[in-house]
Amino acid sequence: MIEVTDIHKTFFVPHKVKALVGVSTKVAAGEVVVVIGPSGSGKSTFLRCLNHLEAADSGHILIDGIDILDRKTNINKVRAEVGMVFQSFNLFPHKTVLENVTLAQKVVRKRGKSEAHDKAMGLLQKVGIQDKANAYPDNLSGGQQQRVAIARALAMDPKVMLFDEPTSALDPEMIGEVLDVMKALAREGMTMVVVTHEMGFAREVADRVIFMDEGAIVEVGTPEHFFQNPTHDRTKLFLSQIL
């Protein structure tokens, strides 16, 4: 589903930082991959490269067989197939919850009004927030907003879902409700790449865990391998710091 070959990314603003130095990996259809690592390790940049919110400097990224670093690729078409959930939700504050979920369906997928509405209501029910359909995002709690953001991404019927630290901006008591939605999604067989600090989620749901540091993948393995006998010193140190 996703095939990343040797991507590099350097930022020059505000100063020169090598964010990614030769990252390669593959994610199969239906697989749940959790990316962990210390802050500044490049894991968010890696995720944002996957739907071209950041343009990788070199290498290849194939999404469902399409190279998104090829200039001839219509990136908007690819992005419609790749859902993304942000740390800060990024709901559209001037639109109601329902409009948030229907807008892109109408504009990008060209669905009719009733079709988009039904799809949206179904998804809002799925994330347990259908009674807030006509509320504005600012009147929702963080956990509710993030669930709407997930519904908004799912409304496009994506083939892959990317989660960029989806629970980092939430109050502790709201983390659970968002993780539950993500777990349900994983059980349904959605292909997911999740950047998170929630080790419990990684242990329970991940098919594979990727540990990144200083812009490179340090260690890859199953959760069992990862949490019980990590091989690299850097991984051991990181795990000892957060567990």
Partner 1 sequence: MAKLEELRYRSAYFLWVGVFFIGVFALIALLYGATAKIDYVWHWFDVPKYIVNQERIEITAGMGGEVAAIEGEGKDAVVIVKDGDDSESYPMAEAEEIWVSKGDFITPGKILGVYHKWQPGILLQGMWLTLKVSMYAIVFGILIGMLGGIARISKNPALKWSAICYVELIRGSPLLVQIFIWYFVLATLFNRLLMVYGFSEIDALYYGVAALACFTGAYVTEIVRAGIQSIHRGQTEAARSLGMTGPQAMYYIILPQAMRRILPPLAGQFISLIKDSSLLGMIAIRELTKATREAITISLSPYEFWFVCAILYLILTFTLSMAVQYMERKMAIQ
Which parts of this chain interact with partner 1 (CB under 8 A)?
51, 53, 76-77, 79-84, 86, 88, 90-94, 103-104, 107-108, 136, 138-139, 149, 152-153, 156
The helix (H) or strand (E) run that includes residue 125 is: helix 113-126
Give me the least distance between CB of 4 and partner 1, in Å please. 18
User: Residue 196 or 235: which CB sits closer to partner 1?
Assistant: 196
Is 231 exposed, middle or buried (CB count within 10 Å of its CB: 0-12, 13-18, 19+)?
A: exposed
**Tokens of residue 119, six digits:** 């799809």
User: Residue 138 or 188: which CB sits closer to partner 1?
Assistant: 138
Is 224 exposed, middle or buried (CB count within 10 Å of its CB: 0-12, 13-18, 19+)?
A: exposed
User: Residue 97 or 217: which CB sits closer to partner 1?
Assistant: 97
Give me the least distance between CB of 84 and partner 1, in Å please. 4
Give me the least distance between CB of 76 and partner 1, in Å please. 5
| Helix, coil or strand: residue 111 | coil
User: Residue 81 or 207: which CB sits closer to partner 1?
Assistant: 81
Give me the least distance between CB of 153 and partner 1, in Å please. 7
User: Residue 139 or 231: which CB sits closer to partner 1?
Assistant: 139
Euclidean distance between CA atoms 108 and 61, whole angstroms: 23
Q: Which whole-number Å values give the CA distances from 53 to 7, 45, 211, in the listed order?
A: 14, 9, 22
CA dihedral 211, 216, 221, 222 (to 10 degrees): 40
Give me the least distance between CB of 67 and partner 1, in Å please. 18
User: Residue 11 or 136: which CB sits closer to partner 1?
Assistant: 136
Q: Which residue matches tokens 């359909």?
A: 133
Give me the least distance between CB of 33 and partner 1, in Å please. 18
Task: DSSP for 139-187, please give it.
Answer: GS-HHHHHHHHHHHHHTT--SEEEEESTTTTS-HHHHHHHHHHHHHHHH
